[in-house]
Amino acid sequence: MADALSLASSCDADVPVGAGLYDESGALVSRGRNERERRGDPTAHAEVEALRAGAAALGRWRLDGCTLVVTLEPCVMCAGALVSARVDRVVFGAWDAKAGAVGSVWDVVRDRRALHQVEVVGGVLTQECSQVLTDFFARRRSV
């Protein structure tokens, strides 16, 4: 989570979210950060960026055996991408009471009707992950 937090802190104009994809041995495969504003791409969330880079690095779209670590609870789009990519586990920091889709508002990744379920570990370094977001929005409001 420390690596994802560092990556989140490097976001400038974008909401600070960082993610890392790890293989079965715990080795970092890829990273991603939120770049929606910078690139003008509504799908450029940290999770999607890490999944895309991970699929390219591994040479396969099925990311079974992998764990995605992200600073903010994934949204519906990102949760759907985790299911589609067959990721084994998602570990996240801050809960998202407005748009969270792995337990807060929805629980897309553990829906028994889905073709794949993802293990969820939430609340890792919650305070630190939340603080990065709080600081970002405080700066935005003061401008």
With H, G, I as helix, E, B as strand and everything else as coil, classify residue 59.
coil
Residue 97: C-alpha distances to residues 85, 103, 119, 126 (Å): 25, 9, 19, 13
Residue 54: C-alpha distances to residues 4, 123, 128, 137 (Å): 15, 24, 25, 30
Q: Is the dihedral of CA 75, 76, 77, 83 positive or negative?
A: positive
Active site residue 73: no
Catalytic residue among 35, 47, 49, 73: 47
CA distance 11 to 102: 23
- Active site residue ranges: 47
